[in-house]
Amino acid sequence: MKSRGRLVLTLAIEVVCSFALNASAQVRSQTTTTSGKTSQSVRVERAEVVLVSGRDLVLRMEDGTIRHIADVPDSFKATVNGKEVGIYDLKAGMTLERTTTITTTPKFVKTVQTVKGRVWTVLPPSSVILTLDDGSNQLFEIPKGQKFNIEGKMVDTAGLKPGMIITATKVVEFTATEVEQRRKLTGSLPSPAGLAEAPILIAK
């Protein structure tokens, strides 16, 4: 997840009144999420059943390696010739194929908060600290060239004074990625020729 932008005062800033020391600060928040273009990838893995012993399963992968899967759960299901089978139904010589579909969707999240607070101190030329309604102080960055309308007069950051009550917009944006995986396991019965009998060694 990548965050961009700090807490920034936007151009829409209004000075409500001056030197109002007892006004309460309010924060209203609105979050919108938009989705980007979805991409999809498919990964197919194939293996041949070499040995089934209770809930232990030994597979020969496509690259020739032997994979031992111990204590296969009862929830294991595969579709073989249109029929759903479990671990106890697998037979040596069956071919299993697992298809994994990965769907990736970028999400653009934008949170806009309307902040009303009292100016605690000004840090020219680009920062101001506001006192919020919970008594906490929070630092805001001010975009370059920002002007403030104070009693009909446009001033820059230097025109802000401690005690002024201002209403501003805090914008936080970040991008997240939503990943969904769907797996489908199918299988096929062994060929009539069957498997050649050969001892199997399982590394412990």
Q: Are residues 54 and 155 in the same domain?
A: no
Pick from 41-50, 103-112, 141-150, 157-166: least confident:
141-150
187-to-96, 115, 159, 202 alpha-carbon distances in Å: 4, 60, 74, 23
Both tokens of residue 140? 């805001």
Half-sphere exposure of 147 (CA within 13 A, CB side): 6
Tens digit of pLDDT for each residue in 133-184?
888 888 888 877 777 766 667 777 888 889 888 776 777 888 989 999 998 8
200 in a structural domain: no
9 in a structural domain: yes
Q: Are residues 112 and 172 in the same domain?
A: yes
Q: Find out whether 156 and 125 touch, Cβ atoms under 8 Å.
A: yes
Half-sphere exposure of 162 (CA within 13 A, CB side): 4
The rounded distance, in Å, linking the Cα atoms of 53 and 70 is: 10
Domain count for the chain, please give it: 2
Q: Are residues 162 and 79 in the same domain?
A: no
The range of the structural domain enclosing residue 29 comes to: 2-37+106-177
The rounded distance, in Å, linking the Cα atoms of 114 and 118 is: 14
Indicate whether 23 pLDDT > 80.
no
Q: Which phi and psi (to 5°) does residue 159 adopt?
A: -80, -10
Tens digit of pLDDT for each residue in 74-98?
888 888 888 888 999 888 888 999 8
pLDDT of residue 41: 93
Model-level pTM?
0.50
Residue 174's SS3 state is strand
The rounded distance, in Å, linking the Cα atoms of 161 and 121 is: 7
Q: Are residues 26 and 116 in the same domain?
A: yes
Both tokens of residue 148? 């403030």
Q: Enumerate the β-bridge partners of residue 128.
A: 122, 140
Give the total residue count for the chain.
204
Q: Are residues 111 and 160 in the same domain?
A: yes
DSSP 191: P
